[in-house]
A = this chain, B = another copy of it.
Amino acid sequence: MPADNLIPDMTDAEFRDALAKVGDWMAGYRSRVGNMPVLSRAVPGQIEKALPQVAPVRGEPVEKWLKDLEQVILPAVTHWNHPGFMAYFGITASAPGILGEMVSSVLNVNGMLWKTSPALVELEQVVLRWLASAMGLPADWFGMITDTASTSTLVALAAAREAADLNVREDGLSSKPPLVLYCSQEAHSSVDKAGLVLGTGMQGIRHIPTDGEFRMNCDALREAIKNDIAQKRRPFAVVATVGTTSVTAVDPVQKISEVCREFGLWLHVDAAYAGTAAIAPEFRWALRGCDQADSLVTNPHKWLFTPIDCSVLFTRRPDQFRNAFCLVPEYLRTGAEGVVDLMDYSFQLGRRFRALKLWFVFRHFGTEGIAARIREHIRLAHELAGWIDSHPKLERLAPVNFSTVCFRVHPRGMDDEKDLERLNSGVIDKVNAAGEVFLSHTKVRGNYCIRVAIGNLQTSIERVRRAFDLICAAAEI
């Protein structure tokens, strides 16, 4: 055994003591985060300078790590779990989600096979059926949890590529016609990245124009597909988006599905952000047509109060995922029948027990509680939109479909886009520097705008009003 003078792993008593200390720090963080500056004020290199260049040779007590956590790490954290975090998409590590993550970490199971953790595999199936049912998706879809939407979309499009019946799995792409993938101009960059990884090249990714509400234009989609076929290229998949990252637009999934059926293409739906809004029945319209999709991704770590990472990939064609990925080496053959071995559905072998935290979230809030909070976030966004719309020097640039609002300061007579960008980016910088809220920007049809995304459970109407007032003050309007 290790020499006596070396610190072993903690005893039960030491672990309980450390749990109490770390737990106290966590609860304290949760209570005081709302008073910290949301966007970190760290300068590049700050942490690197503050820490030693090499690891300690001898172990140190937990008090020392916690002190560094507080003094070195915390000032360099941008606080995503802050009620004033309104950049990108607002998210929440809810209490039940955190507790679920804690249980996962001590179990430390790897769910590559059913046998290596029946609980992981089966709880994942159960909880994803709960989610599909709560969202109004078909009950017989197969679901699996991945880390992020980037992975979900990559895996789905790999299955789509295999489903194109070109035998890519065996032959590779070299001898095949150029593959083409379609999404709207507003689609997330993860679609492009998936195409790059899969070997379509940028030349094999079509960004279809959108209509006045930033939704994919289906006529343009059909034309693009026909043109590619005429050029002897091989269309294989369309990615529709429900809640685009920039302005949360919803593509016409039903119509797109008809185009996909007409040309025999795989339909993948990126509902990473807005999919879970369908848990509130009045927002189920957003998923209209999605029952026709071949696969769909939605992220509980975005708008379902689950700590990062937790992305859900649903499919009605799990067989195509196995066709693309199943490759069982001898040392993993279990001979188990009638069970799901998750490694057969993805390029990833190892996987954490992520279903636990999602299960705890459902258990704590219930579907009514979840729906109420999603509804409240959307209400807050509409309140904000109302203030914007009634202000003469503010201009809203996109519809508020969910909990995200895109707008800009637009003083009368200032019409040069460069001037407007300078003004609005200056406003964002000033607001972010103040620390009470953190906003990001986007461009809408080339117009720079401020973007407020609401999604944290602790965000109150007062905080949203404060954001509005800060913006007006920064713009001197």
Q: Check: A440 CB closer than 8 A to any chain B CB.
A: yes
CB-based contact A201/B44 at 8 Å: no
Provide the bound-state CA to CA distance between A104 and B98, in Å: 9
The reply on A59 being an interface residue by CB < 8 A is yes
Is A387 an interface residue when CB atoms closer than 8 A count as contact? no
Interface string of A68-108 (1 = CB under 8 A from B): 11000110111111000001100111111111011111111
Contact A134–B55 (Cβ < 8 Å): yes
Please give the distance in Å from A9's CB to the nearest CB on chain B. 5
Docked-complex contact B40 and A362, CB < 8 angstroms? no
Known contacts: A88-B116, A176-B174, A364-B60. The answer to whether A16 contacts B27 by CB under 8 A is yes
A227 within 8 A of B: no
CB of A219 closer than 8 Å to a CB of B:
no
Set B47, B54, B117, B147: member contacting A147, Cβ < 8 A: B147
Assuming the A-B contacts A26-B19, A95-B18, A451-B331, are A348 and B151 also in contact, with contact meaning beta carbons closer than 8 angstroms in the complex?
A: yes
Given B134, B202, B451, which contacts A169 in the complex, CB threshold below 8 Å? B202
Stretch touching chain B among A123-131, A263-271, A283-291: A123-131
Q: Are A103 and B25 in contact (CB under 8 A)?
A: yes
**1/0 per residue A126-152: CB within 8 Å of B?**
110111011000000000000111110
Choose among B101, B372, B443 the residue that contacts A105 (Cβ–Cβ < 8 A). Answer: B101
Mask: chain A, 39-63; 1 = CB below 8 Å from B; 0 = not: 1101011111001011111111010
Which residues of chain B are near A329, meaning CB under 8 Å? Answer: 188-189, 245
CA distance A364 to B129 in the complex (A): 41
Distance between Cα atoms of A329 and B104 in the complex (Å): 34
Residue from B199, B363, B458 in contact with A64 in the complex, judged by beta carbons closer than 8 Å: B363
Whether A9 pairs with B359 at a CB distance below 8 angstroms is no
A471 to chain B, nearest CB (A): 18
Chain B residues with CB below 8 A from A192, complex form: 327
Contact A309 B352, CB 8 Å, known A7-B369, A174-B173, A443-B331: yes
A386 within 8 A of B: no
> Among B30, B68, B147, B196, which residue has its beta carbon within 8 angstroms of that of A325?
B196
**Contact status A197-B347, CB under 8 Å:** yes
Is A223 engaged at the interface, CB distance under 8 Å to the other chain? no
Q: Please tell me if the beta carbons of B105 and A93 are within 8 angstroms of each other in the complex.
A: yes
Q: Return chain B residues, CB-CB under 8 Å to A169.
A: 196, 201-202
**Interface 1/0s, chain A 150-178, versus B by CB < 8 A?**
11001000100000000011111111111
Known: A148-B349, A457-B9. A47 touches B172 (CB 8 A): no
